[in-house]
Structure 1
Amino acid sequence: MKRLADCLSQWAQATPDAPAVSDAHHDWSYRMLAMRVDEAACFLRERGVGAGDRVMLIGENGAALAALILAAGRLDAWAVLENARRAAMEVDAVHAHAQPRTVVFVVDNSPSAQAHAERHQAAAVAAPFGNVAVGDLDGASEAEPVDSDPASQVAAMIYTTGSTGKPKGVMLTHANLLHIGALMVRQRHLTHADRVYGILPITHVMGLSSGLIGTLSAGAHIRLVPRFSKDDCLRALREDGITILQGAPAMFARLVQAMPRGERLQSALRFIAVGGAPLDPALKAQTESAFGLTLHNGYGLTEASASAWTRLEEESADCSVGPPNPGMEARVLDARGKPVGMGGTGELWVRGPCVMKGYFRMPERTREVLKPDGWFNTQDLARLTPDGRIHIEGRSKDLIIRSGFNVSPLEVETALNAYEGVQYSAVLGVAQDGNEEIVAIVEPAPLRQLTEAALRDFLTQRLSPYKRPSRILFVQSLPVAPNGKVLKHRLREQLGDML
């Protein structure tokens, strides 16, 4: 297989009437999905998208978005994926950096995508594969060189926020994503009989790779769900024959909390797994008791998804993320770049077919983390145990992971500091129920009175919902260094039980 759409071709021939992709509006067999991808490819081509072009796709989980992602790759175009639920300024920042040839807003099942489309005055189109709106062609957008090997061509570009707060376009090739899809068949034993609850956003790497591509690689059925509802999820698990459920730890925490105490879920589930955020031992135990299944764990970044997974055939009593997946290597190095002894903690480096091609138009930043020999610095702290498993100990980079999404404290602080009445601010991540809560601590400017309501209203226009603080605390003064940098370690000590 060379391109993402190749993963469904064999099933379109072998099991054409088997269910492939469904959502609230569509229910497509493999034959129908292949037709819709062809139609979507024609749609993009007619609108001026060609090989090496970047086409920005803004939407939420749904069949139409899936078809467009696969169609873009068939044209050797890059799908720049953006979750429609992100704030306007964030979407526009990605658009400005990616400079796509055009933008397609997938409005089929997304009021948020519709709002972005209206803001950009995009033209509504009733396409065969779903309802979309299309922006104008950007004549200044230059196509990227097309690789002679389609598998090495960039299939998707997903923006992630690092510790600097500046979004980076992660270039993922067809080979990157197809390898992860194959891992789902090999390591998670997906077959054509499986039915996947697709709540992980396919605009993000885990939902795209192990979710959509993994399901199609197995000839299985994925039900794409745009937004999580614990009640809808539990109903689907009980009534719809769902066999595979993957999500962030916070999702499982909400499901467990919604179930009657002591109840064991009666369902067709055979496999549950978490990723994207640290797994708390208490949540693991609660989930396994409620579901009657082992809660498997995994590790990866947008830049190196599916680096390590726990194994179905092995005991997973602790919260390790398992050994490196087939084809992947891992090592732990100290601050000088020297190997750390077995059991010691250091920065985790990985190498293999899951590692990105690089950051779009950021060669210096790429060289900082990705070495010529293929080793990628995750900047996460980890230790290796003699059984080959990886234990994530923390993060050397200053990031909060909320419900599986990266949140840069600097980005939130920048938004807070833009408010006229804020002198200083600090944003901290606080562990809570298998998730990280975002807590903002604000020092008002002299002679200014701030209200939480006004500050929250200000942030609404600047930050996506998952980036907005759960709590805002006001203090008379923040501890700062002579250079004006807030001393967060001292702040944590001062606030103590308030956090």
Structure 2
Amino acid sequence: MLDRLAMVLRADPHRPAVLTATALTGRSRVRATTGDLTNLTDRYTAALARHGLAAGDTLGLAVRPGPRSLAVLLAAYHLGVRVAVLDPTAGPDVLTARLAVAEPALVLADAAAQAVAGWAGPLARRAHLALPDLTRIAPVRTVGRRLPGCAPALPASAGPPPAAFDGDGDAVIVFTSGTTSRPRAVVHTRSGLSAGMRAVTGLVGPQPDAPVLGGTFFVLVPALAAGAPVALPDRPPALLARQLTRLRPQATYLTPPQLRAVLDHSPRLTGQVFSGSAPVSAALLGRVKRAGADRAYGVYALTELFPAAAVEEADKRGYAADGDLVGRPLPGVSARVDDTGQVWLSGAGQADRYLGEPPMAEVATGDVGRLDGDRLVLAGRCKDMVLRAAENIYPGLYEPALHAPGVALAVLVGVPADDGDERLVAVVQPEPGADRARLRAALRPVLDRMGSARPDRVMFARVPLAGRSRKPDRRAAAQVAARVARDG
């Protein structure tokens, strides 16, 4: 897939590749052509080689999404260099530990990332962004505009780039969990990465020339390889709504929190809309189609295997049994359920291993589920089980039903009780403007059907989110529920 992208970029240097946001002007503007991306990639490839990086080395990357970060990733792939992605939301202590494990030979950072690690640190921490002093970890070079106080610029190198690395090997390191003493990182190989992007191509089917909107490497590369220009989503929901309305993308990929926020601003959606990285309810997909999308998909994916399964809104809405239907595993992906109920996945696009550990034959998802014919149904996370009155309750079995009309998000959490047991609390976040009396009436028959898993209490509150993908933070939700219960 990445080799194909390199060929497509060179075939027509004048084809639009990356579009700017259209929210303010009403017209798309070309931020980078395929020729621009090719030139950037060649310059970065030659510069990294001149710096001494070669196949098997690790490159740390702290560059905002855009043409430069994409070109750096393509340059690293060309050389056989693996990339360790730096997440500024993880906190400086965690990042320091992660990079100590990854041992990058070089860190590339833009001026914004270096400001977060330096003079802008106090301001950035208010937005939950923080980076350690990168220069203490590895040599640092600046990509893009260099401001006072930044590391030296990555020197541009003229002339043809070195020959492409021909073989397999590590391509990318993505840190997912762990502690400062034992970070955990997913390692994808070049062949696995390409297989995952081929799976995206098969799912989305991008067509040439019509734009695709998304912010992840797995979305951007297949679109560009198909000859489709890409646009990065605007951050403010109001601007994103205008961007979607005016750009009219053939395909859009947004996380559930992004979708919920943008739908509150009444965008006019088009084409296919995909959402994943966190649970996607049938109610949310229904809102997407009512906003104009032709089709709306929930995508089941893990950092270890992206994408794994997908389900369209009509199928999800029509599923009446317990649990969260996430659809049929995509071609090449196999699923099984072990004796404990945990789902295991395998396929050509799966991660090779966790950093510092032996290769994995299959991926332990951490999800409890079952197979309904050839469809995968989830019951929740293994660690999220609530034990009440000696009964195991898996929240994922019942949370989909809580998404009645007017519910934006809902989770079931366990709250410790004075008798040593747990109480089950439903934390329900209403949609803006929803009438709570009507909402309680709509939830009443849902609660009646939950049987022994009926929650002890239903409370209306905003569901806390956490992490890069802004998933529901169950621990924080449980703390909110406990505080409300304590205060009466």
Indicate the TM-score class for this superposition, using the shorter chain for normalisation: 0.5 to 0.7
Residue correspondence of structure 1 range 287-436 to structure 2 within 5 A: 287-310=288-311, 315-317=315-317, 318=319, 320-335=325-340, 346-363=341-358, 370=360, 374-386=361-373, 388-397=374-383, 432=429
- Relative distance call for 1:42 and 1:124 in structure 2 (3 A) is same
- Relative distance call for 1:494 and 1:472 in structure 2 (3 A) is closer
**SS of equivalent residue, structure 1 residue 282:** helix
- Relative distance call for 1:323 and 1:149 in structure 2 (3 A) is farther
Which amino acid letter does the alignment assign opposite residue 385 of structure 1? D
Aligned to 1:16: 13
Q: Is 1:156–2:172 an aligned residue pair?
A: yes
Return the match for 2:32 from 13, 28, 33: 28
Which amino acid letter does the alignment assign opposite residue 395 of structure 1? R
Return the match for 1:256 from 254, 259, 263: 263
Question: Would the aligned equivalents of 2:277 and 2:469 in 1 still touch at CA under 8 Å?
Answer: no
CA deviation map 1:418-456 (0-9, x unaligned): xxxxxxxxxx9966469993499xxxxxxxxxxxxxxxx
Offset at residue 300 of structure 1 (A): 1.5
Question: Would the aligned equivalents of 2:18 and 2:32 in 1 still touch at CA under 8 Å?
Answer: yes
Q: CA RMSD in A?
A: 4.3
Aligned to 1:219: 227
Offset at residue 108 of structure 1 (A): 6.4
Return the match for 2:268 from 266, 269, 273: 266
Return the match for 1:208 from 205, 213, 217: 217
Aligned to 1:448: none
Question: Would the aligned equivalents of 2:260 and 2:284 in 1 still touch at CA under 8 Å?
Answer: yes
Deviates more, 1:80-89 or 1:21-30: 21-30
**SS of equivalent residue, structure 2 residue 325:** coil
Which amino acid letter does the alignment assign opposite residue 90 of structure 1? V
Tell me the TM-score normalized by structure 2.
0.68
Aligned to 1:243: 250
What are structure 2's unaligned runs of at least 5 residues?
22-28, 121-129, 155-163, 386-394, 397-412, 414-424, 432-460
Return the match for 2:85 from 76, 81, 87: 81
Question: Would the aligned equivalents of 2:201 and 2:222 in 1 still touch at CA under 8 Å?
Answer: yes
CA deviation map 1:281-331 (0-9, x unaligned): 33232232223433201111111121112369x845356222111111111
Question: Would the aligned equivalents of 2:255 and 2:469 in 1 still touch at CA under 8 Å?
Answer: no
- Relative distance call for 1:325 and 1:164 in structure 2 (3 A) is farther
Distance 1:222 1:362 in 2: 36
Question: Would the aligned equivalents of 2:463 and 2:472 in 1 still touch at CA under 8 Å?
Answer: no
Which amino acid letter does the alignment assign opposite residue 216 of structure 1? L
Question: Would the aligned equivalents of 2:93 and 2:132 in 1 still touch at CA under 8 Å?
Answer: no
**SS of equivalent residue, structure 2 residue 327:** coil
Q: Is 1:37–2:41 an aligned residue pair?
A: yes
Distance 2:265 2:112 in 1: 29
Which amino acid letter does the alignment assign opposite residue 92 of structure 1? T
Aligned to 2:240: 233
Distance 1:125 1:36 in 2: 16
Distance 1:438 1:84 in 2: 20
Distance 1:332 1:383 in 2: 6
Tell me the TM-score normalized by structure 1.
0.66
Question: Would the aligned equivalents of 1:21 and 1:28 in 2 still touch at CA under 8 Å?
Answer: yes
**SS of equivalent residue, structure 1 residue 52:** coil
Return the match for 2:97 from 93, 97, 101: 93
Which amino acid letter does the alignment assign opposite residue 217 of structure 2? L
- Aligned-residue identity in percent: 23
Residue correspondence of structure 1 range 55-134 to structure 2 within 5 A: 55-107=59-111, 112=116, 119-120=133-134
CA deviation map 1:247-280 (0-9, x unaligned): 2111111112222xxxxx435x201011111122
CA deviation map 1:14-66 (0-9, x unaligned): 33321123457982222221121111111212222221110100132121111
Offset at residue 213 of structure 1 (A): 2.0
- Relative distance call for 1:152 and 1:125 in structure 2 (3 A) is closer
Return the match for 1:437 from 453, 463, 470: 463
- Relative distance call for 1:150 and 1:160 in structure 2 (3 A) is farther
What are structure 1's unaligned runs of at least 5 residues?
138-147, 201-206, 260-264, 336-345, 402-408, 410-427, 441-462, 474-487
Distance 1:157 1:429 in 2: 37
**SS of equivalent residue, structure 1 residue 323:** strand
Return the match for 2:194 from 162, 175, 178: 178
Distance 2:474 2:335 in 1: 35
- Relative distance call for 1:239 and 1:273 in structure 2 (3 A) is same
Distance 1:109 1:62 in 2: 14
Distance 2:97 2:471 in 1: 16
**SS of equivalent residue, structure 2 residue 201:** helix
**SS of equivalent residue, structure 1 residue 322:** strand
**SS of equivalent residue, structure 1 residue 100:** coil
Offset at residue 397 of structure 1 (A): 3.5
